[in-house]
Copies of this chain bind each other. A is one copy, B any other.
Amino acid sequence: MTSVSGKGVQVVGTRPIRHDGMDKVTGRALYGADIQLPGLLYGKVLRSPHAHARIKSIDTSRAEALPGVRAIITAQDMPDITERIGELGETMYNLSYLKENVLASRKVLYKGHAVAAVAATSPHIAEEALALIRVEYEPLPPVMNVKEAMTKGAPLLHEDLVTDELGKNGTQPSNVAKHFRFQKGDVEKGFQQADVIVERELQTATVHQGYLEPQNATALWGADGNVTVWCSTQGAFMTREQVYQLLDLSEAKVKVVPMEIGGGFGGKISAYLEPVAALLSRKTGRPVKVVMSRSEVFEGTGPTPAAHIKVKMGANRAGRITGAEISLYYEAGAFPGSAVQAGAMCAFACYNLENAQVDGYDVVVNKPKSAAYRAPGATQAALAVETVIDELCERIGMDPLEFRLVNGVKEGDRRVDGPAYRRIGYLEVVKATREHPHYSAPLGGPNRGRGVATGFWFNAGGPSSCYLSVNADGTVGMVEGSTDIGGSRVAVAMQAAEVLGIPAEAVKPVVADTDSVGYTSVTGGSSVAFKTGLAAYEAAQDVKRQMVERAARIWEKPVEEVESANGVFHLKSDPELKMTFKDLAARLLTTGGPITGRASVNARGAGPGFAAHIVDVEVDPETGKTQVLRYTTVQDVGRAIHPSYVEGQMQGGAAQGVGWALNEEYVYNKQGDMTNSTFLDYRMPTSLDLPMIDTVIVEVPNPTHPYGVRGVGEVPIVPPPAAIANAIYGAIGIRMTTLPMSPGKVLEALQAKGKRQR
- Which residues of A line the B interface, CB within 8 A? 21-23, 25-26, 28, 30, 34, 36-38, 90, 220, 222-224, 226, 250-252, 255, 285, 463-465, 467, 469-473, 475, 477, 479, 506, 508, 510, 512-520, 542, 588-590, 592-603
Contact = CB atoms under 8 A, between A and B. Distances in A.
A597 B223 CA distance: 30
B22 A594 contact: no
Contact of A601 (B514, B593, B597): B593
A226 B22 CA distance: 10
Contacts of A600: 469, 593-596
23 contacts: A22-B222, A23-B223, A23-B224, A26-B222, A26-B285, A28-B223, A34-B37, A36-B37, A90-B590, A252-B508, A255-B508, A465-B594, A465-B596, A467-B517, A467-B598, A469-B517, A477-B518, A508-B515, A510-B515, A518-B595, A518-B596, A519-B593, A596-B598
Contacts of A223: 22-23, 25-26, 28
Contact of A28 (B220, B464, B477): B220
Given A515-B510, A595-B600, A596-B465, A472 B589 contact: no
Nearest to A255: B508
Contacts of A594: 463-465, 518-520, 600, 602
Contacts of A473: 250-252
Q: Which of A26, A473, A600 has the most CB of B within 10 A?
A: A600
Nearest to A512: B516
Q: Give the number of copies in the complex.
A: 2
A518 B226 CA distance: 26
Given A479-B467, A515-B510, A34 B28 contact: no
Given A28-B222, A38-B34, A596 B467 contact: yes
A41 to B, nearest CB: 13
Q: Which 9 A-B pairs have the closest CB atoms?
A: A593-B602, A36-B36, A22-B224, A252-B475, A518-B596, A469-B518, A519-B594, A251-B473, A26-B223
A38 B259 CA distance: 14
A471 B465 CA distance: 12
Nearest to A20: B224
B26 A469 contact: no
A37 to B, nearest CB: 7
A251 B21 contact: no
Contact of A515 (B37, B477, B518, B601): B477
Contacts of A516: 467, 477, 479, 510, 512, 516
Contacts of A597: 598
A595 to B, nearest CB: 6
Contacts of A465: 469, 594, 596
Contacts of A470: 518
A241 to B, nearest CB: 9
Contacts of A519: 469, 471-472, 588-589, 593-594
A40 to B, nearest CB: 8
A42 to B, nearest CB: 14
Contacts of A285: 26
A289 to B, nearest CB: 12
Nearest to A35: B36
Contacts of A510: 513, 515-516
A738 B34 CA distance: 54
Nearest to A603: B593
A252 B602 CA distance: 30
Q: Which of A224, A508, A594 has the most CB of B within 10 A?
A: A594
A520 B590 CA distance: 13
A516 B516 CA distance: 8
A218 to B, nearest CB: 12
Contacts of A255: 508
Contacts of A542: 598
A512 B464 CA distance: 20
A575 B389 CA distance: 63
A30 B252 CA distance: 20
A676 to B, nearest CB: 31
A590 B23 CA distance: 37
A602 B589 CA distance: 7
A469 B599 CA distance: 10
Contact of A602 (B36, B224, B592): B592
Nearest to A542: B598
Contacts of A589: 463, 519, 602
Nearest to A23: B222
Contacts of A37: 30, 34, 36
A438 B220 CA distance: 47
Contacts of A472: 251, 519
Contacts of A23: 222-224, 226
Q: Which of A475, A519, A592 has the most CB of B within 10 A?
A: A519
